[in-house]
Amino acid sequence: MANTKIRSYLSLIKFSHTIFAMPFALIGFFLALKTTSFATTKPWWQLFLLVIGCMVFARSAAMAFNRWLDKNFDALNPRTAIREIPSGIISEKNAMIFVILNCLAFITCTYFINSICFYLSPVALLVILFYSYTKRFTPLCHLVLGLGLSLAPIGAYLAVTGKFDLLPVLFSFAVLFWVSGFDIIYALQDEEFDKENKLYSIPAALGKRKALKVSETLHILSLVCVITAGIYGHFSWLYLMGVVVFGGMLIYQHSLVKPNDLSRINVAFMTSNGIASVIFAIFVLLDLFILKNKIPPLGG
């Protein structure tokens, strides 16, 4: 019974989708650890666990809140009617309790990181929770989702350094454009439903063909940010290999989805973007580990 409940909540928050932003959080964390002074007395591994906790709790709160707020629309949509809340697997009350607990856990983690992360935690929560309302009044909702996930690299960087810097901001912009682009692709499935129910999205506003053009433009901007970050950060050929894979997977996902053929949209959304983020992060971390200073010992 307990295992079933756990699986239900993991499904509610689409825990597997953590693979999108988590690699960029790791980039922000280890970038700060290898290239700047350590702004805390905590051992790096303790800070690392707190950052991971922040990522998991913030994303869980945002996703569960989105499911809770959209429950009535989900019940009307044949594609989403089987989700946990409209199908009765998880009650509305329990879903909201889950949201609140994750918000509190997120704020608690930031408290133990440093003061700037703690003070900014309500702002981060406001951004990621506010996204759920945006589809009700603007087709730019995809950019708000991208903004929420883009907090991952800069937030992880702040956890280590306690200050902002241009390089993690470039990675954050890369995430913003990347996520916004693939969310537009995912929203193609609900173009007609959104129109019928007066919901806003780029596909509903522009149609499938133009929406795909917007997505392509956003992904080009994401690639530009990644390349700019590589140049500004003086990365090596390892980073360049990561850029090639990242760009290649962006091109691949656009080759899978056509205005008149959405049959491979899940492959484009989950598989190609998951591979893009993980492989890119691996090459960035290899660059940092091999060419930068060695990681501090576990005790410091």
Instruction: Give pLDDT tens digits along the chain (300 positions).
Output: 667 778 888 777 776 677 888 999 999 999 998 887 666 667 889 999 999 999 999 999 999 999 999 999 999 999 999 999 999 999 999 999 999 999 999 999 999 999 999 999 999 999 999 999 999 999 999 999 999 999 999 999 999 999 999 999 999 999 999 999 999 999 999 999 999 999 999 999 999 999 999 999 999 999 999 999 999 999 999 999 999 999 999 999 999 999 999 888 887 777 889 899 999 999 999 999 886 654 444 334
Where do the structural domains in the chain lie, given as residue ranges?
11-291
Residue 166 is encoded by which pair of tokens? 């241009």
Nearest to 292 by CA among 32, 6, 17: 32
Task: Extract the tokens encoding 194.
Answer: 């959104």
For domain 11-291, is the CATH number 1.10.357.140?
A: yes
Instruction: Note the pTM of the prediction, 2 decimals.
Output: 0.93
Cα→Cα distances 9→4, 79, 155, Å: 9, 19, 25
Maximum Cα–Cα distance for the chain, whole Å?
58
Q: Per the structure block, which two tokens stand in for 8? A: 């239900």
**Helices in 87-207 by DSSP H: which ranges?**
92-111, 115-134, 141-161, 166-187, 191-196, 202-206
The C-alpha atoms of residue 172 and residue 147 are separated, in whole angstroms, by 8
How far apart (Å, rounded) are the C-alpha atoms in residues 60 and 52?
12
